[in-house]
Structure 1
């Protein structure tokens, strides 16, 4: 699998480190309550098809990336830079 880093260009997947689903960008407010935090920490989808994940270009520029990919076909649909505060371009 090859991932196209917006800063470095197309690279082998081994240069990147998978960080998990993009749900990490949607943290609840500190005072959101235990139910919201429980969902955030422990509830995960396991989709078959399109998904959005966080990857870090660890062996390259170090950038955090939002990778849109298909878990069935392994096709990379889009890659964008993850932005501070959980806002990012689609």
Structure 2
């Protein structure tokens, strides 16, 4: 799989660190049940998913990658700081 970094261009996925699906973090005062669900209970959806990737062996940017988890087709890549997903880092 190849990821087109907006800064470095197309690179092999081994240059990147996969953080996972972009998840909304509960508020600090959320209940123990909400935190338990956030930390331990994750869905594993098949299909198009917004993910966070870190270009570890390149420019050091966090990327928002829209990827089909069934086919591994990458539909869109943008800097997380401009996509709104930067808060999930």
TM-score normalized with structure 2 length: 0.85
Q: Secondary structure at the match of 2:46?
A: coil
Residue 70 (structure 1) aligns with: 68
Q: CA deviation at 1:71?
A: 1.2
Following TM superposition, by how much is the alpha carbon of 1:37 offset from its aligned partner in structure 2, in angstroms? 0.8
Kindly tell me the number of residue pairs found equivalent between the two proteins.
Answer: 84
> 1:53, CA displacement in angstroms?
1.2
Equivalent residue for 2:87? 85
* Alignment match, 2:13: 13
How large is the Cα RMSD of the aligned pairs? 1.2
Q: Does 1:52 align with 2:50?
A: yes
TM-score normalized by the length of structure 1: 0.85
Residues 30-63 of structure 1, C-alpha deviation per residue, up to 9 Å, x if partnerless? 1111121111111211111111111100000111
* Gaps in structure 1 of 5+ consecutive residues: none
Q: Which residue of 2 aligns with 1:29?
A: 27
Find the aligned partners of 1:77 and 1:28 in 2 and give their Cα distance: 28
